Protein backbone atom coordinates (compact mmCIF):
# COMPACT_ATOMS: atom_id res chain seq x y z
CA UNK A 1 0.00 0.00 0.00
CA UNK A 2 1.26 3.49 -0.77
CA UNK A 3 1.36 5.98 2.08
CA UNK A 4 -0.95 8.48 0.42
CA UNK A 5 -4.01 6.25 0.07
CA UNK A 6 -6.57 5.36 2.70
CA UNK A 7 -5.55 2.12 4.37
CA UNK A 8 -7.75 -0.82 3.49
CA UNK A 9 -9.78 -1.53 6.64
CA UNK A 10 -9.65 -4.97 8.22
CA UNK A 11 -13.18 -6.37 7.99
CA UNK A 12 -14.01 -9.33 10.24
CA UNK A 13 -16.41 -11.53 8.25
CA UNK A 14 -18.36 -13.87 10.53
CA UNK A 15 -19.13 -17.24 8.93
CA UNK A 16 -22.74 -17.30 10.16
CA UNK A 17 -24.55 -20.63 10.36
CA UNK A 18 -22.14 -23.32 9.13
CA UNK A 19 -25.06 -25.39 7.78
CA UNK A 20 -26.25 -22.52 5.56
CA UNK A 21 -24.82 -20.69 2.54
CA UNK A 22 -22.49 -18.42 4.57
CA UNK A 23 -19.30 -20.45 4.00
CA UNK A 24 -19.97 -20.68 0.25
CA UNK A 25 -20.72 -17.01 -0.36
CA UNK A 26 -17.60 -16.12 1.64
CA UNK A 27 -15.43 -18.37 -0.57
CA UNK A 28 -17.00 -16.89 -3.70
CA UNK A 29 -16.64 -13.28 -2.52
CA UNK A 30 -13.01 -13.75 -1.46
CA UNK A 31 -12.07 -15.06 -4.90
CA UNK A 32 -12.73 -11.55 -6.26
CA UNK A 33 -10.03 -8.94 -6.92
CA UNK A 34 -12.44 -6.07 -6.24
CA UNK A 35 -12.90 -7.24 -2.63
CA UNK A 36 -9.16 -7.22 -1.86
CA UNK A 37 -8.82 -3.84 -3.57
CA UNK A 38 -11.01 -2.21 -0.90
CA UNK A 39 -10.43 -4.18 2.32
CA UNK A 40 -8.39 -6.75 4.22
CA UNK A 41 -10.92 -9.56 4.74
CA UNK A 42 -10.54 -11.71 7.84
CA UNK A 43 -12.98 -14.59 8.28
CA UNK A 44 -13.97 -15.53 11.83
CA UNK A 45 -15.24 -19.09 11.58
CA UNK A 46 -14.04 -22.63 10.96
CA UNK A 47 -11.23 -23.37 8.51
CA UNK A 48 -12.41 -26.96 7.90
CA UNK A 49 -15.86 -25.74 6.91
CA UNK A 50 -14.43 -23.07 4.60
CA UNK A 51 -12.29 -25.70 2.85
CA UNK A 52 -15.40 -27.86 2.34
CA UNK A 53 -17.30 -24.84 1.00
CA UNK A 54 -14.33 -24.08 -1.26
CA UNK A 55 -14.50 -27.61 -2.72
CA UNK A 56 -18.25 -27.18 -3.30
CA UNK A 57 -17.89 -23.85 -5.17
CA UNK A 58 -14.85 -25.12 -7.12
CA UNK A 59 -17.05 -27.98 -8.42
CA UNK A 60 -19.50 -25.31 -9.58
CA UNK A 61 -16.69 -23.70 -11.59
CA UNK A 62 -15.42 -21.03 -9.17
CA UNK A 63 -11.72 -20.48 -8.44
CA UNK A 64 -10.15 -22.80 -5.84
CA UNK A 65 -8.66 -20.98 -2.84
CA UNK A 66 -6.36 -21.97 0.00
CA UNK A 67 -7.57 -21.48 3.60
CA UNK A 68 -5.04 -20.40 6.21
CA UNK A 69 -6.11 -21.29 9.76
CA UNK A 70 -4.79 -18.59 12.09
CA UNK A 71 -5.25 -17.51 15.71
CA UNK A 72 -4.74 -13.73 15.57
CA UNK A 73 -5.19 -11.02 12.91
CA UNK A 74 -1.43 -10.34 13.06
CA UNK A 75 -0.87 -13.75 11.38
CA UNK A 76 -3.02 -12.88 8.36
CA UNK A 77 -1.47 -12.27 4.94
CA UNK A 78 -4.52 -10.62 3.28
CA UNK A 79 -3.57 -11.85 -0.19
CA UNK A 80 -6.08 -12.99 -2.79
CA UNK A 81 -5.86 -16.75 -3.28
CA UNK A 82 -5.56 -17.49 0.45
CA UNK A 83 -8.51 -16.96 2.80
CA UNK A 84 -7.35 -15.93 6.29
CA UNK A 85 -9.56 -17.57 8.91
CA UNK A 86 -9.50 -17.10 12.68
CA UNK A 87 -10.26 -20.77 13.28
CA UNK A 88 -12.56 -21.57 16.21
CA UNK A 89 -12.49 -25.33 15.42
CA UNK A 90 -16.13 -25.94 16.34
CA UNK A 91 -17.52 -27.66 13.23
CA UNK A 92 -16.50 -31.28 12.58
CA UNK A 93 -15.55 -32.48 9.10
CA UNK A 94 -18.54 -33.66 7.06
CA UNK A 95 -21.06 -31.63 9.10
CA UNK A 96 -24.32 -31.80 7.06
CA UNK A 97 -25.40 -28.89 4.87
CA UNK A 98 -28.91 -27.48 4.97
CA UNK A 99 -29.99 -29.04 8.29
CA UNK A 100 -30.84 -27.18 11.47
CA UNK A 101 -28.04 -27.81 13.98
CA UNK A 102 -27.43 -26.54 17.53
CA UNK A 103 -23.70 -26.92 16.81
CA UNK A 104 -23.98 -24.47 13.90
CA UNK A 105 -26.03 -22.17 16.15
CA UNK A 106 -23.29 -22.24 18.80
CA UNK A 107 -20.70 -21.50 16.11
CA UNK A 108 -22.67 -18.52 14.81
CA UNK A 109 -22.78 -17.11 18.35
CA UNK A 110 -19.05 -17.63 18.95
CA UNK A 111 -17.98 -16.08 15.64
CA UNK A 112 -19.93 -12.89 16.44
CA UNK A 113 -18.52 -12.83 19.95
CA UNK A 114 -14.92 -13.14 18.71
CA UNK A 115 -15.39 -10.58 15.91
CA UNK A 116 -16.86 -8.08 18.38
CA UNK A 117 -13.86 -8.49 20.69
CA UNK A 118 -11.43 -8.05 17.77
CA UNK A 119 -13.00 -4.71 16.82
CA UNK A 120 -13.14 -3.58 20.45
CA UNK A 121 -9.43 -4.39 20.78
CA UNK A 122 -8.60 -2.38 17.66
CA UNK A 123 -7.50 -5.51 15.74
CA UNK A 124 -10.28 -5.13 13.14
CA UNK A 125 -12.22 -2.12 11.88
CA UNK A 126 -15.68 -3.45 11.07
CA UNK A 127 -17.84 -6.58 11.15
CA UNK A 128 -19.66 -8.03 8.15
CA UNK A 129 -21.98 -10.92 9.00
CA UNK A 130 -22.98 -13.92 6.90
CA UNK A 131 -26.51 -15.13 7.74
CA UNK A 132 -27.34 -17.11 10.89
CA UNK A 133 -30.39 -19.22 11.71
CA UNK A 134 -32.40 -17.86 14.63
CA UNK A 135 -33.76 -21.35 15.31
CA UNK A 136 -30.25 -22.82 15.48
CA UNK A 137 -29.10 -19.94 17.71
CA UNK A 138 -32.02 -20.67 20.07
CA UNK A 139 -31.35 -24.43 19.91
CA UNK A 140 -27.81 -23.67 21.13
CA UNK A 141 -29.29 -21.83 24.13
CA UNK A 142 -28.73 -18.26 22.92
CA UNK A 143 -32.14 -16.61 23.16
CA UNK A 144 -31.76 -13.57 20.90
CA UNK A 145 -34.15 -12.58 18.09
CA UNK A 146 -31.11 -12.25 15.80
CA UNK A 147 -27.73 -10.64 15.11
CA UNK A 148 -28.81 -7.13 16.02
CA UNK A 149 -29.92 -7.92 19.56
CA UNK A 150 -26.93 -10.23 20.07
CA UNK A 151 -24.49 -7.48 19.08
CA UNK A 152 -26.32 -4.96 21.27
CA UNK A 153 -25.96 -7.36 24.21
CA UNK A 154 -22.26 -8.13 23.55
CA UNK A 155 -21.38 -4.43 23.37
CA UNK A 156 -23.67 -3.28 26.19
CA UNK A 157 -25.66 -1.01 23.86
CA UNK A 158 -29.17 -0.20 25.15
CA UNK A 159 -30.73 0.94 21.87
CA UNK A 160 -29.79 0.40 18.22
CA UNK A 161 -31.39 1.20 14.86
CA UNK A 162 -31.56 -0.62 11.55
CA UNK A 163 -30.34 1.14 8.44
CA UNK A 164 -30.88 -0.33 4.98
CA UNK A 165 -28.52 0.82 2.26
CA UNK A 166 -29.17 0.43 -1.46
CA UNK A 167 -27.49 2.19 -4.35
CA UNK A 168 -28.58 5.84 -4.05
CA UNK A 169 -30.68 5.31 -0.90
CA UNK A 170 -30.01 5.04 2.84
CA UNK A 171 -32.96 4.48 5.19
CA UNK A 172 -32.86 4.34 8.99
CA UNK A 173 -35.90 3.03 10.90
CA UNK A 174 -37.50 4.45 14.04
CA UNK A 175 -39.27 1.09 14.63
CA UNK A 176 -38.72 -2.26 12.88
CA UNK A 177 -39.97 -5.67 13.95
CA UNK A 178 -43.22 -4.78 15.70
CA UNK A 179 -46.82 -4.52 14.46
CA UNK A 180 -47.99 -1.31 12.85
CA UNK A 181 -50.37 -0.33 15.68
CA UNK A 182 -47.61 -0.97 18.23
CA UNK A 183 -45.11 0.98 16.11
CA UNK A 184 -47.32 4.08 16.05
CA UNK A 185 -47.78 3.85 19.81
CA UNK A 186 -44.03 3.50 20.35
CA UNK A 187 -43.01 6.47 18.18
CA UNK A 188 -42.38 9.55 20.35
CA UNK A 189 -40.19 12.65 19.98
CA UNK A 190 -37.31 11.36 22.14
CA UNK A 191 -37.01 8.14 20.12
CA UNK A 192 -37.26 9.97 16.78
CA UNK A 193 -34.55 12.42 17.85
CA UNK A 194 -32.22 9.61 18.99
CA UNK A 195 -32.67 7.74 15.70
CA UNK A 196 -31.90 10.90 13.69
CA UNK A 197 -28.82 11.50 15.88
CA UNK A 198 -27.56 7.92 15.47
CA UNK A 199 -27.97 8.01 11.70
CA UNK A 200 -26.31 11.40 11.42
CA UNK A 201 -23.36 10.39 13.62
CA UNK A 202 -22.74 7.31 11.44
CA UNK A 203 -22.62 9.35 8.23
CA UNK A 204 -20.42 12.04 9.80
CA UNK A 205 -17.96 9.36 10.95
CA UNK A 206 -17.98 7.92 7.45
CA UNK A 207 -16.95 11.28 5.99
CA UNK A 208 -20.19 13.15 5.12
CA UNK A 209 -19.62 16.41 7.01
CA UNK A 210 -23.19 17.75 6.97
CA UNK A 211 -25.64 14.94 6.13
CA UNK A 212 -28.99 16.05 4.68
CA UNK A 213 -31.71 14.09 6.46
CA UNK A 214 -35.36 13.75 5.39
CA UNK A 215 -37.86 12.54 7.98
CA UNK A 216 -41.02 10.67 6.91
CA UNK A 217 -44.44 11.43 8.31
CA UNK A 218 -46.68 8.64 9.60
CA UNK A 219 -49.87 9.57 7.75
CA UNK A 220 -50.50 10.17 4.02
CA UNK A 221 -49.04 13.54 2.95
CA UNK A 222 -47.42 13.72 6.43
CA UNK A 223 -50.89 14.49 7.84
CA UNK A 224 -51.42 17.56 5.63
CA UNK A 225 -51.75 19.92 8.61
CA UNK A 226 -54.17 17.72 10.51
CA UNK A 227 -56.30 16.69 7.54
CA UNK A 228 -55.27 13.03 7.92
CA UNK A 229 -54.71 11.14 11.15
CA UNK A 230 -55.05 12.38 14.72
CA UNK A 231 -52.17 14.82 14.92
CA UNK A 232 -49.44 12.16 15.10
CA UNK A 233 -46.95 14.31 13.17
CA UNK A 234 -47.43 17.31 15.48
CA UNK A 235 -47.24 15.18 18.61
CA UNK A 236 -44.60 12.58 17.76
CA UNK A 237 -42.32 13.92 14.99
CA UNK A 238 -42.25 17.72 14.73
CA UNK A 239 -40.73 18.32 18.22
CA UNK A 240 -37.85 15.95 17.32
CA UNK A 241 -37.21 17.64 13.97
CA UNK A 242 -37.23 21.08 15.63
CA UNK A 243 -34.80 19.89 18.32
CA UNK A 244 -32.40 18.67 15.61
CA UNK A 245 -32.73 21.87 13.59
CA UNK A 246 -31.96 23.85 16.77
CA UNK A 247 -28.57 22.05 16.85
CA UNK A 248 -27.89 23.34 13.33
CA UNK A 249 -28.40 19.95 11.67
CA UNK A 250 -29.79 19.72 8.14
CA UNK A 251 -33.02 17.90 9.03
CA UNK A 252 -36.27 18.31 7.07
CA UNK A 253 -39.69 16.95 7.93
CA UNK A 254 -42.05 15.45 8.52
CA UNK A 255 -42.29 14.97 4.74
CA UNK A 256 -44.74 12.86 2.71
CA UNK A 257 -43.12 9.42 2.46
CA UNK A 258 -44.41 8.81 -1.07
CA UNK A 259 -42.25 11.59 -2.54
CA UNK A 260 -39.41 11.63 0.00
CA UNK A 261 -37.91 8.31 -1.18
CA UNK A 262 -37.98 9.53 -4.79
CA UNK A 263 -36.26 12.78 -3.79
CA UNK A 264 -33.62 10.92 -1.75
CA UNK A 265 -32.83 8.52 -4.61
CA UNK A 266 -32.50 11.57 -6.86
CA UNK A 267 -29.83 12.96 -4.51
CA UNK A 268 -31.69 15.55 -2.40
CA UNK A 269 -31.04 13.68 0.87
CA UNK A 270 -28.23 11.52 2.29
CA UNK A 271 -30.55 9.69 4.69
CA UNK A 272 -34.26 9.01 5.03
CA UNK A 273 -35.79 8.38 8.48
CA UNK A 274 -38.65 5.87 8.13
CA UNK A 275 -41.19 5.50 10.91
CA UNK A 276 -41.99 1.79 10.55
CA UNK A 277 -40.72 -1.40 8.88
CA UNK A 278 -42.60 -1.47 5.58
CA UNK A 279 -42.38 2.28 5.02
CA UNK A 280 -38.58 1.95 4.83
CA UNK A 281 -38.11 -1.60 3.59
CA UNK A 282 -40.46 -1.38 0.60
CA UNK A 283 -38.57 1.33 -1.32
CA UNK A 284 -35.18 -0.32 -0.66
CA UNK A 285 -36.35 -3.77 -1.79
CA UNK A 286 -37.79 -2.32 -5.01
CA UNK A 287 -34.24 -1.26 -5.89
CA UNK A 288 -33.13 -4.91 -5.95
CA UNK A 289 -32.93 -7.61 -3.29
CA UNK A 290 -29.30 -8.41 -4.06
CA UNK A 291 -28.29 -4.76 -3.69
CA UNK A 292 -29.69 -4.10 -0.20
CA UNK A 293 -27.39 -4.15 2.84
CA UNK A 294 -28.48 -4.15 6.48
CA UNK A 295 -26.43 -1.94 8.84
CA UNK A 296 -26.81 -1.88 12.62
CA UNK A 297 -26.52 1.73 13.79
CA UNK A 298 -25.65 2.83 17.32
CA UNK A 299 -23.19 0.06 18.16
CA UNK A 300 -19.63 1.00 19.09
CA UNK A 301 -18.60 -1.22 16.14
CA UNK A 302 -19.56 -0.91 12.45
CA UNK A 303 -21.68 -3.92 11.46
CA UNK A 304 -23.09 -4.63 8.03
CA UNK A 305 -24.92 -7.72 6.88
CA UNK A 306 -26.25 -9.51 3.85
CA UNK A 307 -29.94 -8.85 3.35
CA UNK A 308 -30.87 -12.55 3.00
CA UNK A 309 -31.11 -15.68 5.13
CA UNK A 310 -29.25 -18.99 5.46
CA UNK A 311 -31.00 -20.59 2.44
CA UNK A 312 -30.76 -24.14 3.84
CA UNK A 313 -32.57 -25.40 0.71
CA UNK A 314 -29.59 -24.61 -1.55
CA UNK A 315 -26.71 -24.88 0.96
CA UNK A 316 -23.83 -27.12 -0.10
CA UNK A 317 -24.65 -26.87 -3.81
CA UNK A 318 -22.31 -24.04 -4.77
CA UNK A 319 -25.07 -21.97 -6.38
CA UNK A 320 -25.66 -19.27 -3.74
CA UNK A 321 -25.06 -15.72 -4.99
CA UNK A 322 -22.32 -13.72 -3.25
CA UNK A 323 -23.57 -10.32 -4.53
CA UNK A 324 -25.17 -9.17 -1.27
CA UNK A 325 -22.06 -10.15 0.74
CA UNK A 326 -19.79 -8.17 -1.60
CA UNK A 327 -22.12 -5.18 -1.29
CA UNK A 328 -22.13 -5.58 2.53
CA UNK A 329 -18.30 -5.60 2.51
CA UNK A 330 -18.33 -2.44 0.39
CA UNK A 331 -20.65 -0.71 2.89
CA UNK A 332 -18.49 -1.88 5.82
CA UNK A 333 -15.53 -0.19 4.14
CA UNK A 334 -17.53 3.00 3.48
CA UNK A 335 -18.70 3.20 7.10
CA UNK A 336 -15.49 2.07 8.83
CA UNK A 337 -13.69 4.83 10.72
CA UNK A 338 -10.54 5.82 8.86
CA UNK A 339 -7.51 3.83 10.02
CA UNK A 340 -4.06 5.40 10.07
CA UNK A 341 -2.12 4.24 7.00
CA UNK A 342 0.00 1.16 7.57
CA UNK A 343 3.11 0.60 5.53
CA distance 260 to 257: 5
Residue 178 is predicted with a pLDDT of 87
Task: Flag the least confident range among 62-66, 68-72, 286-290.
Answer: 286-290
- Architecture of the domain spanning 10-157+299-335: 3-Layer(aba) Sandwich (3.40)
User: Dihedral (C-alpha) 62, 66, 67, 71: value to the nearest 10 degrees?
Assistant: -150
| Structure confidence by residue, pLDDT tens digits, 228-282 | 889 999 999 999 999 999 999 999 999 999 999 999 999 999 999 999 999 999 9
Count of Cβ atoms closer than 10 Å to residue 20 Cβ: 31
pTM: 0.88
| Structure confidence by residue, pLDDT tens digits, 108-139 | 999 999 999 999 999 999 999 999 999 999 99
CA distance 130 to 122: 21
CA distance 97 to 18: 8
Q: Which of 313, 290, 320 is nearest to 60 (CA)?
A: 320
- 183 burial class (0-12, 13-18, 19+ CB within 10 angstroms)? buried
- Architecture of the domain spanning 161-285: 3-Layer(aba) Sandwich (3.40)
Mean of the pLDDT values across residues 219-224? 90
CATH 3.40.718.10 domain locations along the chain: 10-157+299-335, 161-285
CA distance 40 to 312: 28
Burial annotation 331-340 (CB, 10 A radius, 16+ → b, else e): bbbbbbeeee
Residue 241 is predicted with a pLDDT of 98
CA distance 42 to 107: 16
Mean of the pLDDT values across residues 164-187? 93
Give me the DSSP letters along 229-282.
SSSHIIIIIHHHHHHHHHTT-EEEEEE-HHHHHHHHHHTS-SEEEESSHHHHHH
Question: Does residue 332 contact residue 126 with C-beta atoms inside 8 Å?
Answer: yes
Task: Tell me the backbone φ, ψ of residue 114, rounded to 5 degrees.
Answer: -65, -45
Amino acid sequence: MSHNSKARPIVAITMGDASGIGPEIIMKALARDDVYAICRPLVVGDATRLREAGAVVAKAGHPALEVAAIETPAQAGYRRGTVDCIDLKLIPEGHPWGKLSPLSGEGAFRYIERATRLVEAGEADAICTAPLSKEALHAAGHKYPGHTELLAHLTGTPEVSMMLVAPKLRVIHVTTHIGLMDAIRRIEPGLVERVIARGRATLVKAGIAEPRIGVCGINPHAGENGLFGQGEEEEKIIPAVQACQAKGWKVDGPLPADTLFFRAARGDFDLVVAMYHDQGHGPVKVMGLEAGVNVTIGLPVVRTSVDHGTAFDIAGKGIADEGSLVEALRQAVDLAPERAEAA
